[in-house]
Amino acid sequence: MLDRVAAGARVGGQKAGWGAARLAGRAASSKAPTHGEAVAKKLYVKTFGCQMNVYDSARMADVLAPLGYGSTTEIEDADLVVLNTCHIREKAAEKVYSELGRLRALKRVREKGGNEMLLAVAGCVAQAEGEEVAARAPFVDIVVGPQAYHRLPAMVARASRARRTAVDTSMPAESRFDHLPEELAGPQPGRGVSSFLTIQEGCDRFCTFCVVPYTRGAEESRPAAEVEAEARRLVAAGAREIVLLGQNVNAYHGAAGGETDAGELDLAGLIGRLAAIQGLERLRYTTSHPRDMTPALIRAHGEEPKLMPFLHLPVQSGSDRVLAAMNRGHTADRYLRLVEALRAAQPEIALSSDFIVGFPGETEVDFEATLALVREVEYAQAFSFKYSARPGTPAAERDDHVPNDVAAARLSRLQRVLDDQKRRFNAGMVRRTLPVLFERRGRHPGQVAGRTPFMQWLHVDGDDALIGSVALATVIDASPNGLAGALAGSAGAPVNARDGTADMASMGGIPA
Ligand code: SAH
Ligand code: SF4
Ligand code: F3S
């Protein structure tokens, strides 16, 4: 789970190129209350944490749309502010309270002007701390957990009249997905040319450092037919890539759900089913657990051209002793064999990972084993964190915590190695011609930016019309953070979705 990627993403920033024309009518008609009962109100959602939270933020905008809420990027104007929060590390959780301090002042200013500003805390801090949020920040109107946000409209309706913070951190037996409307709110972060789609929720793995099984509850997979219907709607609205999300996404096992099919689909089966959607060019999935990488899923990386050759496969540590203490359920060797099998199926596959350094009891020898594993794998990119003790998790109870300065020194050693690998990986792209899915305008006027099959951002000088399509670009320059390229001139040359060598048909064509 890339919990840092999306930190601070805001709902409301309309992305260029997201089939805006196609969506405009739909968004406008769905947002405007039909019986004139609700005046247009403004919603500001600030998202912390992983992609799952980005997806949930968009879904919260959907459930609030029928109440007349439309997104704004100006927090001062908001009638309702939602903080969608993350509890994964202490810093992430504490950020919420400093944010709330700022919001309290804003709320007062708006109230002085005779306007309301409702404050809602959603997401994993809401789930983990529930009543504590209400106690520490009594000016918060609503606290709602990730399983209960389909009830937001009722909570919002009551909040204006209530004096107390309303808290709902229940984990209802029924799936919230059965209560969410279709994508009413239109373009949102995480819903564009590349769109997130949550297919699996919760986690049963119970790694000893992790809060997710407690904040998100038990593993649950959405029925494949429901996922497919949502994917088709996203594609009809302009999505060309879908990123399937789950805390443990490769544990997916959803009811097939077709009229004739009473069976179950695993992730490989679901990918096959979604790949048949016309107009969908690319599929990705995140985050996977090494224990749930099945042979069928590994094969899919070699056989399904729409499945991109990139995989985020967190290992956390290279020491078997630490892996066992983390309850990861695999050894370093088993992970390396998985990497071998993935590379045999798809020699180009680029790998990414998460690492925790300074897990309780980690010795210098353990840490060296992590460095050795990293050197053996050669990652395209990776995220690394200092261990953070989380209340209620088994590792937090241990009495052999690693001193902060030791953990910090290890983290910077690891990050140096990972940074070098990333630099090498990007530098290796120079002069290659790659199919790029253009998603948005670049930083400078006249530029557009998109992703290579390997997840790197690449920008070229080019027209906005490119946004929403795959085009070939030749890489001119590489930095650790991305690539610069030029559109390959020979439109019409046959290319392969991965390396520019075969059929163009599945790629949406090169715009003239
Ligand atoms: N489901 C994902 C992880 C979600 S959390 C998976 O299994 O990989 C994202 C990352 O945060 C984890 O991979 C881990 O590296 C890191 N993380 C989780 N708990 C942490 C903690 N207590 N301290 C430091 N990092 C942590
Ligand atoms: Fe957390 Fe482990 Fe589950 Fe990932 S697999 S969400 S790290 S408990
Ligand atoms: Fe995601 Fe953070 Fe919750 S990583 S699942 S938002 S604790």
Say if 307 falls within a structural domain: no
Q: Of 177, 210, 245, which marks where a domain is finished?
A: 177
CA 29 to chain centroid, in Å, comes to 28
Q: Which of 57, 246, 222, 60 is nearest to 150 (CA)?
A: 60
CA of 203 from ligand 3 middle (Å) equals: 11
Peptide bond before residue 363 is cis, with ω within 30 degrees of 0: no
Say if 34 falls within a structural domain: yes
Q: Of 177, 193, 228, which marks where a domain is finished?
A: 177
Say if 388 falls within a structural domain: no
Q: What is the pLDDT of residue 38?
A: 53
Produce one character per residue of 303-336: b if its CB has 16 or more CB atoms within 10 Å, e if not. ebbbbbbbbbbbbbbbbbebbebbebebebeebe
Please check whether residue 180 is in contact with residue 437, taking contact to mean a CB–CB distance below 8 angstroms.
no
% of the chain residues with pLDDT over 70: 87
For the cut 50, the answer to whether the pLDDT of residue 494 exceeds it is no
Say if 281 falls within a structural domain: no
Q: Which residues form the domain of 486?
A: 433-507
Q: Of 149, 177, 205, which marks where a domain is finished?
A: 177
CA of 205 from ligand 2 middle (Å) equals: 6
Tens digit of pLDDT for each residue in 247-280?
999 999 999 876 666 689 999 999 999 999 999 9
Backbone angles phi, psi at 403, to 5 degrees: -55, 145
For the cut 80, the answer to whether the pLDDT of residue 336 exceeds it is yes
Shortest-distance ligand to the CA of residue 124: 3
Say if 41 falls within a structural domain: yes
We report the CATH number of the domain holding residue 50 as 3.40.50.12160
Say if 382 falls within a structural domain: no
Backbone CA torsion sign across 205, 265, 290, 147: negative
Q: Provide the domain count of the chain.
A: 2
Return left, alpha or beta for 485; rule: phi > 0 is left, psi -120 to 50 is alpha, else beta: beta
Tens digit of pLDDT for each residue in 8-57?
333 333 322 233 332 332 333 333 334 444 569 999 999 999 999 999 99
CA of 505 from ligand 1 middle (Å) equals: 39
- Rounded distance, CA 92 to CA 88, Å? 7
Please check whether residue 395 is in contact with residue 326, taking contact to mean a CB–CB distance below 8 angstroms.
yes
Tens digit of pLDDT for each residue in 173-230?
778 888 888 888 888 899 999 999 999 999 999 999 999 999 999 999 999 999 999 9
Say if 17 falls within a structural domain: yes
Mean model confidence pLDDT for the chain = 88
Query: Which tokens is 11 given?
Result: 């709902």
- Rounded distance, CA 397 to CA 44, Å? 38
Contacts 24+ apart (CB under 8 A), 490-498: 495/433, 495/435, 496/305, 496/435, 497/281, 497/282, 497/305, 497/306, 497/435, 497/453, 497/470, 498/305, 498/308, 498/309, 498/348, 498/435, 498/453
Q: Collapsing DSSP states into helix, strand and coil, what is residue 450? A: strand
Say if 296 falls within a structural domain: no
* Atom 18 in ligand 1: residue holding the nearest Cα: 210
Tens digit of pLDDT for each residue in 224-238?
999 999 999 999 999
* Atom 5 in ligand 3: residue holding the nearest Cα: 212
We report the CATH number of the domain holding residue 451 as 2.40.50.140
What's the whole-model pTM score?
Answer: 0.89
CA of 2 from ligand 1 middle (Å) equals: 9
Query: Which tokens is 427 given?
Result: 């530098």
| Ligand 3 pocket residue status of 212, Cβ below 6 Å | yes
In this structure, which amino acid lies at residue 279? G
Tens digit of pLDDT for each residue in 376-419?
999 999 999 999 999 999 999 999 999 999 999 999 999 999 99
